[in-house]
């Protein structure tokens, strides 16, 4: 739908914002805390006669005394004008054109002020029947840009011209009150972009804030709108939610608002009222482990997380295939893995490189019980062995019994010397019975040649 075709009910509600300017003497932001590359971009834009503001999460985090992950900039310069100023600039985006200023691996994102997409003079925006913005290349003023931002704490602008902060939506007050509050009518803003529901949860957990009552109220009802979001975008959002260092807490709050169920419908089938199913136990275990690894500065792999999360749904699907199609356990697991991953990728577009690793981790669970002969030594040499073992340990915590004993055997085997390893394998061979003897060939008597 073209913006000129929008009825008044479909057009977003424009909120009148009151500007509050906080002078340099009244806030705690120091340029020493802003990255050198971000300052270069700000000063060059300002020197060329354009407005230049540090905006969004960077301002919010600096005011909270935290180190921002990114430094985003807003300006009245168009993407083409920005590209003329910076040789190291690359323009990206279809839904809204952005400029990326490249300083090696450091990227400073610069956005032109956004305007209201129902203005008839700028025919470059598109909206769906449900109110979701499909294309949004509409430029405007800083006041309009502030009205278009999602949350009050993200609508503060640090002016490089005089080092003041322009607060358009009461963000300073909400920072002090520790509140996540949407700008404008929550129902309308969520319909414009349903991912804002996920962002509300993520900011609340990350900042340890509460979600303001009116902002929280429509989320559970509108959660199904996430089904209309492209799977590739939801994949990126899922990593932000679950691999940010607060994954376990985020999962529980997402589930409370019916959001996790939209991203992982296959997993949600196994949810219980008391959080007691193996699937739910594994979710708690793997997300807590991921949070710990991030806190310790260790590497994390999305494939491991997804493999663990989907393991018990995989088992249930395999059991069904064994009953209905009379498949062997191995064949059923292989077939079930196709079903489970295909279903999940329709919601969250997990890249193929990760689905390949997921399959390897699952296959190792089938191979690790088979340790006799040289098999244990060969398994240890596999690239994904450590991931397979770590997952086996998690399964042992949940399943106990034979699975836990198998995990303990592999833990000892890895840390043992060669002689000890050979003795462990020999014990396995002995416990399984004497090695099989070769069958003798039965020699057939040759028939006498006919005379």
Which two tokens mark 42? 């700000």
Distance, CA of 315 to CA of 313 (rounded, Å)? 5
Q: Mind listing the pLDDT tens digit for each residue in 342-360? A: 999 999 999 999 999 999 9
For the entire predicted model, the pTM comes to 0.84
> Where on the phi/psi map is residue 290: left (φ > 0), alpha (ψ -120 to 50), or beta?
alpha
Is the pLDDT at 276 greater than 60? The verdict is yes
The single residue of 70, 173, 185, 288 carrying the catalytic annotation is: 70
* pLDDT bucket at 431, cuts 50 / 70 / 90: confident
Distance, CA of 347 to CA of 292 (rounded, Å)? 27
* pLDDT bucket at 216, cuts 50 / 70 / 90: very high
Q: Mind listing the pLDDT tens digit for each residue in 398-407? A: 999 999 999 9
Identify whether 70 is a catalytic site residue: yes
The single residue of 61, 150, 193, 291 carrying the catalytic annotation is: 150
pLDDT at residue 367 in the model: 95
Residue 84 backbone phi and psi in degrees, to 5: -70, -30
List the one residue out of 258, 262, 257, 250 whose CA is nearest residue 305.
250
The domains of the chain, with CATH numbers, are: 17-177 (3.30.460.10), 290-431 (1.10.3090.10)
Q: What is the largest CA-CA distance in the chain?
A: 122
Q: Go through 400-416 and write b for each residue having 16 or more CB atoms within 10 A of its CB, e for each that does not.
A: eeebbebbebbeebeee
Cβ burial, residue 190 (10 Å; 0-12/13-18/19+): buried
Q: Mind listing the pLDDT tens digit for each residue in 246-266? A: 999 999 999 999 999 999 999
Identify whether 143 is a catalytic site residue: no
Identify whether 150 is a catalytic site residue: yes
Cβ burial, residue 146 (10 Å; 0-12/13-18/19+): buried
The single residue of 72, 145, 193, 291 carrying the catalytic annotation is: 72
Number of neighbouring beta carbons within 10 Å of residue 142: 20
Is the pLDDT at 124 greater than 60? The verdict is no
**Polymer length in residues for the chain:** 451
């Amino acid at each position: 739908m073209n913006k000129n075709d929008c009825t008044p009910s479909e057009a977003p509600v424009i909120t009148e914002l009151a500007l509050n300017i906080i002078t340099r003497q009244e806030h705690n932001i120091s340029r020493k805390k802003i990255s050198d590359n971000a300052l270069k971009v700000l000063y060059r834009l300002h020197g060329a006669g354009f407005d230049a503001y540090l905006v969004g999460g960077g301002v919010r985090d600096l005011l909270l005394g935290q180190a921002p992950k990114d430094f985003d900039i807003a300006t009245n310069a168009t993407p083409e004008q920005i590209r003329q100023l910076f040789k190291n600039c690359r323009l990206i985006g279809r839904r809204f054109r952005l400029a990326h200023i490249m300083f090696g691996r450091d990227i400073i994102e610069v956005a032109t002020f956004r305007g209201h997409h129902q203005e008839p003079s700028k025919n470059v925006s598109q909206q769906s029947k449900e109110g979701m913005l499909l294309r949004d290349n509409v430029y405007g003023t800083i006041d309009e840009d502030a009205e278009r931002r999602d949350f009050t704490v993200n609508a503060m602008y640090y002016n490089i011209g005089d080092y003041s902060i322009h607060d358009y939506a009461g963000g300073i007050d909400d920072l002090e009150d520790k509140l996540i509050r949407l700008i404008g009518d929550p129902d309308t803003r969520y319909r414009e972009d349903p991912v804002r529901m996920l962002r509300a949860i993520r900011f609340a957990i990350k900042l340890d804030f509460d979600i303001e009552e009116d902002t929280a109220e429509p989320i559970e009802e509108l959660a199904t709108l996430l089904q209309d979001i492209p799977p590739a975008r939801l994949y990126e959002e899922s990593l932000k939610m679950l691999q940010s260092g607060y994954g376990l807490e985020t999962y529980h709050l997402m589930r409370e608002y019916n959001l996790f169920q939209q991203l992982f419908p296959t997993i949600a089938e196994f949810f219980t009222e008391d959080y007691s199913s193996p699937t739910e136990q594994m979710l708690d275990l793997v997300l807590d482990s991921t949070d710990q690894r991030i806190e310790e500065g260790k590497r994390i792999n999305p494939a491991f997380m997804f493999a663990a999360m989907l393991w018990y749904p995989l088992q249930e699907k395999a059991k069904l295939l064994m009953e209905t199609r009379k498949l062997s356990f191995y064949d059923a697991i292989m077939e079930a893995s196709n079903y489970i991953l295909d279903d999940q990728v329709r919601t969250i577009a997990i890249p193929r490189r990760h689905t390949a690793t997921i399959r390897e981790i699952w296959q190792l669970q089938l191979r690790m019980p088979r340790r006799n002969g040289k098999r244990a030594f060969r398994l240890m040499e596999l690239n994904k062995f450590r991931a397979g073992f770590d997952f086996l340990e998690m399964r042992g915590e949940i399943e106990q019994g034979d699975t836990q004993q198998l995990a303990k055997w592999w833990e000892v085997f890895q840390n043992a010397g060669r002689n000890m390893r050979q003795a462990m394998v020999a014990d396995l061979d002995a416990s399984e019975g004497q090695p099989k003897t070769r069958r003798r060939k039965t020699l057939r008597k040759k028939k006498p040649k006919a005379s």
